[in-house]
Amino acid sequence: MKKTVYLSDQVRERCPGLNDWIALRIGEHQLCSLTAAKVFSGAEPALVIVGYEQGRPWLEDWVVPYPLIIFWARSGQVLPPELMDHPRFHGRINEADATDQQLLVIKSALDRIRDQQHIAEMMDDILEVGRALASEKNLDRLFDLILDHAQKLLNADGASIYTRDKNGKLYFRLWRNASTDTKAEAQKTLVGDKSIAGYVAQTGEPVLLDDAYDIPESAPYTFNPASDRSINYHTRSMLTLPMRNKAGDVVGVLQLINRKREPDARLATAGDCDAFVVSFGEPDIRIAQALAGQAGSALENSILYSDIENLFEGFIKASVQAIEARDPTTAGHSFRVAEFTDRLARAVDRSDSRIYRDIRFDREELREIRFASLLHDFGKVGVRENVLVKSHKLYPFEMEVLKQRFLLARTSFERESMSRIIGLYERAEHPDQVAEEREQIEQLLKQEGQRLDRFLEVVLHANEPAVSDTLASDELQEVAKYRFRNVDGRTTRLLDDFEFACLALAKGSLNEEERLEIESHVTHTFAFLSLIPWTRNLSKLPHIAYGHHEKLDGTGYPLGLSGDEIPIQTRMMTISDIYDALTASDRPYKKSLSPERALDILAAEAGAGKVDGDLFRVFVDSGAHRLIDSDR
């Protein structure tokens, strides 16, 4: 930043050499007349050299905005004490002083401005860092940011960060080193108390070392050279200090390694250290402490945030598992749909194709998609369990009633046949006379029994859910027409209208009422998810989940949305949902399909304009549909 020196006309006239000297010797300074100084805003560093009489009113009125002021005074002129104490007052130049003497005063003022400027810039940097750290919720990225700023602010070649858990255990998390190309990954490795970082975490005291290889034997910590060896490096100066939260507890440790004279110097050997490395000084500790203070608060916030995130995700998963436990045959469905959709979203995010090059999902949006996928069928909580697990067209108890009616029909017919035979004997004079008729009745009884057996088989067959559209068989129609005389003499039907309607279902195992009940799960999902006060970055979640049974051509439910009315997140989820429903393990009412067959069906759905064909291609091409066995 340019510094400006304002000279009053009086000073210019009386000391022309000063004017030239400032212009010549302090290149980065701008020289202006005092007329310009009068409009000076005070926002930038400046030095004003002004005659005492001329400048005094400004200082006395306390309105002088300039950082520093030097008064040009006549010999013997007395300046008032309150003026000497003024923070902006730097000194005086006496008319009678030698030029060297005068210049010394000016130079010291300029040095002071430079130092103030340096501190101001540093504080600006630290505030900026504080703002950046406070807005970063992702722990790994926060580690990166802290190390990045620490290296830059303190000219450190290397930096490491450690975190401390609630039980006081210290973990090494990430390191950085400008002199090595080795890329460090975030980790979580337990660190011993005897290490330098361990000591700092335990005591809360910073440790400043001029040479990490020259630690006194009596020191309560040791330096482990193994880390140097592993990256072929040499550590010399080191500053290790605690990061504290707002309550003052140590939540981590920041370690800075090898402060460099020249920021761009690359260090590998002890010789490089001799040439470029200097010790961390007292001002460095103050700057590092300011940074560590910001980092400590940010770290605690970030850990808290990620704890809350984990807690919330854990709660979602536990809830989903509880819902899926109501229907064991669909166990794991929501988790797999979340996994498929997440992979598909990442593939779309990576894609540079014409269609998807403008579509990107950040971490929060991916989380929104994952949660929406996990919760998409949550509304099944509002569907009766027997409907949810219904595996045949008739419930077992309905089938039991039906079988009893078959038994009743058979028994009634037997009873009737027996009465007829008894009647024959009562009317006959000799048993031989009725043999033929009795045989006919018995034959009829046998035929009727066989007919009922066949009917029962037809019913049992019809009770199986149909995979594809089928019409009710003629035989079932025949069963429906069958009547028998009940024990009370009334004519009774073998199948009532409800049973026939169920058994005649063209597809699946659900009647209309039950199908609507199952479909209502989407509305229940939306109603349930709308009750949750989602954070701003998860606010679209209920709508993403709401549309997972909508179809692009408007034939889906519950709203019959079409095309762009269905968000892309939902369209991705729909593909995953259908794919998993088709390939999931056998269910009592549905055989699982091979991945190839399932993809064929999805391709046909895409061809018919029901699911998004472009997304389906990404789903296949990216391999998003392939799950490892343990995911199943």
Report in angstroms how near the CB of residue 333 gets to Fe ion at its nearest. 6
User: Quick one: 463 or 525, whose CB is closer to Fe ion?
Assistant: 525
Interacting residues of 341 by C-beta distance below 8 A, sequence separation 6+: 369, 370, 373, 569, 572, 573, 576
Rounded to an integer, what distance in angstroms lies between the CA atom of residue 5 and that of residue 508? 89
Binding flag, residue 284, Fe ion (CB under 5 A): no
CB of 571 to Fe ion, least distance (A): 14
Q: Do the Cβ atoms of 242 and 204 come closer than 8 Å? A: yes
State which residue, 130 or 379, has the beta carbon closest to Fe ion.
379
Site for Fe ion in 403-432 (CB under 5 A): none
* 258/334 with CB nearer Fe ion: 334
- Judged by beta carbon, residue 136 or residue 580, the one nearer Fe ion is 580
Distance between CA atoms of 609 and 552, rounded to whole angstroms? 6
Q: HSE (CB half, 13 Å, CA atoms) of 98?
A: 3
Q: Report the nearest approach of Fe ion to the CB of residue 386 (Å).
A: 18
Token pair recorded at residue 481: 């027409």
Between CA 553 and CA 571 the distance in angstroms is: 12
Pick the closer one to Fe ion by CB: 125 or 327: 327
CB of 590 to Fe ion, least distance (A): 14
Pick 320 or 458: Cβ nearer Fe ion: 320
Residue 584, CA distances (Å) to 271, 332, 376, 515 in order: 64, 9, 17, 20
Q: Closer to Fe ion at the Cβ: 235 or 341?
A: 341
The number of helices, as runs of H, and strands, as runs of E, in the chain is 23, 14
Residue 300 vs 577, nearer CB to Fe ion: 577
Site string for Fe ion, 50-69 (x = CB under 5 A): --------------------
At residue 162, what are phi and psi to the nearest 5 degrees? -130, 150
Contacts of 628 (CB under 8 A, 6+ apart): none
Nearest distance, CB of residue 380 and Fe ion, angstroms:
8
Distance in Å, CB of 132 to Fe ion, minimum: 41
CA 4 to chain centre: 50
Identify residues 337-396 at the interface with Fe ion (CB under 5 A): 377
| In the complex, least distance from residue 519 CB atom to Fe ion, rounded to whole angstroms | 9
Handedness of CA 37, 38, 39, 40 (dihedral sign): positive
> What does DSSP say about strands 156-164 and 170-177: parallel, antiparallel, or unpaired?
antiparallel
Quick one: which of 603, 597, 599 has its CA closest to 625? 599
In the complex, minimum distance from the CB of residue 522 to Fe ion, in angstroms, rounded to a whole number: 6
Contact between residue 536 and residue 305 where contact means Cβ atoms under 8 Å apart: no
Nearer to Fe ion, 377 or 514 (CB): 377
Cα separation, 144 vs 135, whole angstroms: 14
Question: Residue 377 or residue 499: which is nearer to Fe ion going by CB?
Answer: 377
Taking phi first (over 0 means left), then psi (-120 to 50 degrees means alpha), and beta for anything else, what does residue 256 get? beta
**E strand or H helix at 7, and its extent?**
strand 3-7
CB of 525 to Fe ion, least distance (A): 8
Dist. CA 547–CA 611, nearest whole Å: 12
Q: Of the two residues 170 and 578, which places its CB atom closer to Fe ion in the complex?
A: 578
Chain residues 243-282 in contact with Fe ion, contact rule CB under 5 A = none
The least distance separating Fe ion from the CB of residue 547, rounded to whole angstroms, comes to 10
The minimum distance between CB 566 and Fe ion, in angstroms, equals 14
H/E segment holding residue 347: helix 333-350
Scanning residues 293 to 312, which ones bind Fe ion (CB under 5 A)? none
Greatest extent of the chain over all pairs of C-alpha atoms, in Å: 167
Interface size with Fe ion, residues (CB under 5 A): 2
Count of residues making up the chain: 632
Provide the minimum distance between the beta carbon of 313 and Fe ion in the complex, in angstroms, as a whole number. 19
The amino acid present at 474, given as its one-letter code, is D
The nearest distance, CB 337 to Fe ion, in angstroms, is 6
Backbone angles phi, psi at 87, to 5 degrees: -60, -25
**Which of positions 125-144 make contact with Fe ion (CB under 5 A)?**
none
51 bridge partner residues: 72
Smallest separation (angstroms) from Fe ion to the CB of 465: 18
DSSP string for residues in 227-283: HHHHTT-----EEEEEEE-TTS-EEEEEEEEEEESSTT----SHHHHHHHEE---HH
Complex with Fe ion: residue 298 or 338, whichever CB lies closer: 338
Pick out residues in 563-592 that bind Fe ion (CB under 5 A): 577
Cβ–Cβ under 8 Å, residues 88 and 59:
yes
**Closer Cβ to Fe ion, 157 or 577, answer by number:** 577
The one-character DSSP state at 391 is -
**Among residues 577 and 605, whose Cβ is nearest to Fe ion?**
577
Tokens for 370, please give them.
Answer: 């994952």
- Contact footprint for Fe ion (CB under 5 A): 377, 577
